[in-house]
Amino acid sequence: MGVVAAIDRFFSVQDSGSTIATELRGGLTTFATMAYIVVVNADLLSKAGIPVESAVFATCASSAIGTFLMAWWAGYPFALAPGMGLNAYFVFSVVPAVAAALGPGPPDRAWKVALGLVGWSGGLFLVATWLELRSRVMREIPMTLKLAVSTGIGLFIAFIGMQAAGVVVADARTLVKLGDVHAPSVWIAGAGLLVTAGLWVRRIPGALLIGIVATTALAMMLGHAATPERWVAFPEVSGTTFQWDLRGAFDIRFLDIMIALLFVDFFDTMGTLVGVGVQGGFLDDKGRLPGDNRALSADAAATVVGAALGTAPVTTYVESASGIAAGARTGLANMVVVGGFCGAMFFAPALTAVPSFATAPVLVVVGALMATSLSRIEWEDPSEGIAAFVTALAIPVTFSISDGLAMGVAVYLGSKALGGRSQEISWVMWTLGGIFFLRFLFIPVG
């Protein structure tokens, strides 16, 4: 009881209205919904020339350290890992741009310099966080836009889930269309969604985690989920650890790349923190996240650690919302995620046993839960409602939290100013609008 009581006091579990069992369950749910990043991120990084075995270690280690820092410094159940979108930007935009600027040379030089750029951007974020610049911006964003970001993220992850299940697929004419409804993944994911939703309606503890396990089990029984050929693999540490080229990255030729990295990471992180903060009820009466500077510090430090270990920018994960929906309220849930990633270093092959369509039902359910923020938006005020609608819609449509927020801010500023209510806009919001404008004007998007 002494150890249990100490854990409870350290993480303020009872004070947060939770229990240790609930936190453990929430942590398991979060890890289960984001464990795919180990395989996906390593595969993406390998396309930039980074050894895949080393990329697995870098992904797991940076995720574990970042998630631990968030629990230790901020006490929130927000898990961190190399960002989806950020990793694609790193592989398909940053590394090729660096390679083009460097010219002929060793094949591994480009990704090492690119990691150096990520390290510098993380360091600049730490400085900006210590100066409280990031927290000031986050606090000044109107509550309406914060609620809209939460809704937009919900739609975003639900759409990702439907993609993973094959319910929607790409189409050259209409961008997306209904997928092959006869595909096994669609039917299995559909069954998983019904089971997960039913468990949630009945308020069964661990409904989301049970849903993932049940969907995976069904897929295995029907022969649509492969059993790994091996379950254990020792991590490869030396391939990427401290391979970043900080000196090579300190070059004026890479200034535009650095600015783009700073922009995307800054606003993706801010949007995610706001979204999961709303989902978990962590925001205060003024719409602010208590201890936001500590949370932002953990995020920035994790990016530096990730670059040192050999991966793309590390950021707070929207999948944290699944654990929050399962009841997680404290950093104790993060410790479960930390343990999961530490174990994944050795059991990475086992994670392939969970197909992506098995986590799809949970993403859809969590998306629906996050969309409840719509009811708190001031729809009777058009300057608030239209901006909120554009924000929530743009996030899944552009596949970017930062771009969706940028569009919402533009509509918010324009509608307030043209409606004769510019006095309601803070100088921080005007500055933010100017930054977004300059970003779209001078920095390539995509």
- What is the number of domains present in the chain? 1
What pLDDT sits at residue 233? 79
What pLDDT sits at residue 301? 95
- pLDDT at residue 445 above 60? no
What pLDDT sits at residue 395? 87
What pLDDT sits at residue 222? 93
Q: What is the pTM of this model?
A: 0.74
Q: Give the 3-state DSSP-derived string for the chain, with helices as H, strands as E and coil as C.
A: CHHHHHHHHHHCCHHHCCCHHHHHHHHHHHHHHHCHHHHHHHHHHHCCCCCHHHHHHHHHHHHHHHHHHHHHHHCCCCCEEECCCHHHHHHHHHHHHHHHHHCCCCCCHHHHHHHHHHHHHHHHHHHHHHCCHHHHHHHHCCHHHHHHHHHHHHHHHHHHHHHHHCCEEEECCCEEEECCCCCHHHHHHHHHHHHHHHHHHCCCCCHHHHHHHHHHHHHHHCCCCCCCCCCCCCCCCCCCCCCCCHHHHCCHHHHHHHHHHHHHHHHHHHHHHHHHHHHHCCCCCCCCCCCHHHHHHHHHHHHHHHHHHCCCCEEECCCHHHHHHCCCCCCHHHHHHHHHHHHHHHHHHHHHHCCHHHHHHHHHHHHHHHHHHHHHCCCCCHHHHHHHHHHHHHHHHHCCHHHHHHHHHHHHHHHHHHCCCHHHCCHHHHHHHHHHHHHHHHCCCC
Q: What is the mean pLDDT of the chain?
A: 87
Residue range 56-85: average pLDDT? 93
Model confidence pLDDT, tens digit, residues 74-130? 999 999 999 866 787 788 778 988 998 888 888 889 999 999 999 999 999 899 888
What pLDDT sits at residue 12? 87
Domain that holds residue 152: 2-442
Q: How sure is the predictor about 156, in pLDDT bands with cuts at 50, 70 and 90?
A: confident
What pLDDT sits at residue 446? 52
